[in-house]
């Protein structure tokens, strides 16, 4: 099926970063005709809809990095957006808990990061003060982070797209269209999906778990590769929810590229515990036994994957054991809440995180956004990308206006 309309910009990828970019571009350029293309039947179907729903504060990120700057700016914008458009959220605060002496130096480091990143209101607290906030938690010290919160990221994504469409009735969201090719001719890009062809002057790719593949379809010579890591969650039973008031995080291990298992009160009142982090054999697979030959082959024939495996062997084995053992998962949770029992937790959902891995196994931790002659690619947008989404959208919009000469 042919689509003869020529859009000013087509955005490929309908997660929260794609929707935020759509919203920001349209807000700054009301006359632009913009198309948002999503391969699933709904927006926010993958990373956005399977994350922990936390509005991050900016505590963990290297001062001056894109993550740090965009997280803090994006958090403020996201909360303002949620208030304005009635998106379910709650700025409830969180505690970061140290349970042993060896964690205190790194707790000090992330506290100093928070100060440098202007994370407002943070303070170091004692074990007794932790119990004032979270009575069932045992710790020797911690950080109180009052500006952290929770939000319905799927609701936020849909609202961003809805508001953007309302600014220009020529703009459009196209669901259920998987991009399979990009062709360019005479200054126009033809985006080929499984069912249709769309024309646009410029392209912005926000492909998440498919970012590397989409970049290559657009002719980008990308050396790195996206590798997926599944995170499994447990939930507290209704009878055990009283043991967690809001958000409880461990001090992250600096040698492991994830934040660790934590407790999160969701906007619907449920309490999630997790996630772990295990290599997934399917980029968009949320079950423990999900498998894709292509995804597995691509990941396991890439030397960066093995470099990461070998440098994190002990952590990886521990994560896999926890993935298949409720008892071991509970043991990890009990480091912060010792009173939890097997009867208090039940299996929950899962998510998959996209990591852009270097050939040396480096996780390319900061956000990475690059441009070609007529395209922009979000190549790496791990956590806190959802929190930072509106700031990322603003960043991309400014880049697009300069690169694509959108402003007169």
- Coil, helix or strand at residue 72: helix
- pLDDT for residue 356: 95
**Contact yes or no for 89/149 (Cβ under 8 A):** yes
* Residue 57 CB burial class (10 angstroms; 0-12, 13-18, ≥19): buried
Nearest to 47 by CA among 354, 375, 292: 354
Average pLDDT score over residue span 395-400: 97
* Helix 313-323 × helix 303-311 angle, to 10°: 90
- CA distances from residue 379 to 206, 220, 404 in whole angstroms, order as listed: 8, 11, 19
> Do the beta carbons of residue 199 and residue 215 sit within 8 Å?
no
Q: What is the pLDDT of residue 3?
A: 58
- Is residue 256 over pLDDT 70? no
Q: What is the pLDDT of residue 132?
A: 97
State the residue for tokens 């990828």: 13
The phi and psi torsions of 68 (rounded to 5 degrees) equal -65, -50
pLDDT of residue 258: 67
pLDDT over 70 (residue 139): yes
Please identify which residue in the block is written with the tokens 């003060």.
Answer: 129
pLDDT in tens, 177-207: 999 999 999 889 999 999 999 999 999 999 9
Question: For the segment 268-287, what is each residue's pLDDT rounded down to a tens digit?
Answer: 999 999 998 899 999 999 99
CB-CB neighbours of 3 under 10 Å: 16
Note the Cα 38 to chain centre separation in Å: 17
Q: How far is CA 40 from the centre of its chain?
A: 18
Contact of 157 with 48, CB cutoff 8 Å: yes
Global pTM reads 0.95
Split at pLDDT 50, 70, 90, the class of 373 is confident
81-111: pLDDT as tens digits: 999 999 999 999 999 999 999 999 999 999 9
Strand pairing category for 225-236 and 271-274: antiparallel
The predicted structure's pLDDT at residue 253: 81
pLDDT at 319 over 80: yes
Domains of the chain, residue spans: 2-48+154-223+365-403, 94-146, 225-363
| Percent of all residues in the chain with a pLDDT value above 90, rounded to a whole number | 87
Q: Which residue has the higher pLDDT, 317 or 128?
A: 128
Cβ atoms of 353 and 381 within 8 Å: the answer is no
Only one residue has tokens 């000469």, namely 405
Whether 352 has a pLDDT exceeding 50, the answer reads: yes
Q: Report helix, strand or coil for 150.
A: strand
pLDDT of residue 213: 97
The hierarchical CATH code for the domain 225-363 is 3.30.9
Residue 370, CA distances (Å) to 94, 211, 267, 367, 377 in order: 34, 12, 34, 10, 5
- Greatest pairwise CA separation for the chain in angstroms: 68
pLDDT given at position 196: 95
The answer to whether 140 touches 100, Cβ cutoff 8 Å, is: yes
Residue 16's nearest CA partner among 208, 202, 227 is: 208
Q: Mean pLDDT over residues 11-19, rounded?
A: 98
Mean pLDDT of the chain: 94
Q: Say which residues have a Cβ less than 8 Å from residue 317's Cβ, sequence separation at least 6.
A: none
Distances 67 to 43, 56, 115 between C-alpha atoms, Å: 23, 11, 15
Structure confidence by residue, pLDDT tens digits, 21-47:
999 999 999 999 999 999 999 999 999
Residue 406 and residue 32 in contact, taking contact as beta carbons nearer than 8 Å? yes
Per-residue confidence band for 227, with pLDDT thresholds at 50, 70 and 90: very high
| 3-state SS, residue 304 | helix
pLDDT of residue 254: 74
In terms of C-beta density within 10 A (0-12 exposed, 13-18 middle, 19 or more buried), how is residue 185 classed?
exposed
Token pair of 114 as six digits: 């928070």
CB 24 within 8 A of CB 397: yes
Identify the CATH assignment for 2-48+154-223+365-403 out of 1.10.1510.10, 3.50.50.60, 3.90.800.10, 3.20.20.140. Answer: 3.50.50.60
Residue 255, token pair as written in the block: 């040698």
Band of pLDDT at residue 1, cut at 50, 70 and 90: very low
Write down the pLDDT at residue 346.
97
């Amino acid at each position: 099926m042919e689509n003869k309309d020529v859009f000013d910009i087509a955005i490929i990828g309908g997660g929260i970063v794609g929707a935020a970019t759509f919203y920001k571009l349209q807000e700054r350029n009301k006359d632009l005709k913009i198309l948002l293309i999503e391969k699933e039947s709904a927006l926010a179907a993958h990373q956005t809809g399977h994350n922990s729903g936390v509005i991050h504060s900016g505590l963990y990120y290297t001062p001056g990095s894109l993550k740090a700057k965009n997280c803090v700016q994006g958090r403020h914008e996201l909360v303002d957006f949620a208030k304005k458009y009635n998106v379910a959220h709650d700025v409830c605060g969180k505690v970061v808990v140290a349970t042993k002496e060896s964690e205190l130096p790194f707790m000090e480091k992330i506290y100093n990061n928070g100060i440098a990143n202007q994370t407002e209101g943070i303070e170091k607290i004692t074990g007794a003060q932790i119990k004032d906030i979270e009575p069932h938690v045992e710790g020797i010290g911690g950080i109180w982070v009052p500006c952290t919160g929770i939000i319905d990221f799927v609701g936020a994504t849909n609202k961003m797209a809805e508001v953007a469409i309302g600014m220009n009735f020529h703009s459009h969201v196209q669901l259920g269209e998987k991009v399979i090719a990009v062709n360019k001719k005479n200054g126009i890009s033809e985006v080929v999906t499984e069912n249709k062809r769309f024309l646009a002057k410029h392209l912005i790719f926000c492909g998440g778990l498919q970012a590397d593949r989409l970049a290559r379809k657009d002719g980008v010579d990308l050396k790195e590769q996206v590798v997926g890591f599944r995170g499994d969650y447990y939930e507290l039973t209704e009878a055990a929810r009283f043991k967690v008031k809001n958000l409880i995080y461990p001090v992250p291990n600096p040698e492991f590229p994830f934040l660790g298992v934590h407790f999160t009160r969701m906007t619907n009142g449920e309490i999630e515990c997790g996630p772990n982090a295990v290599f997934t054999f399917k980029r968009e697979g949320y079950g423990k036994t999900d498998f894709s030959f292509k995804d597995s082959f691509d990941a396991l024939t890439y030397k960066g994957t093995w470099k990461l495996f070998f440098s994190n062997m002990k952590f990886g084995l521990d994560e896999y054991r926890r993935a298949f053992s409720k008892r071991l998962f509970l043991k990890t949770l009990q480091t912060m809440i010792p009173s939890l029992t097997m009867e208090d937790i039940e299996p929950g959902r899962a998510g998959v995180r996209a990591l852009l891995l270097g050939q040396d196994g480096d996780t390319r931790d900061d956000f990475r956004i690059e441009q070609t002659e007529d395209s922009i690619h979000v190549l790496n947008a791990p956590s806190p990308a959802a929190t930072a989404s509106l700031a990322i959208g603003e960043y991309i919009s400014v880049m697009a206006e300069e690169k694509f000469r959108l402003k007169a």
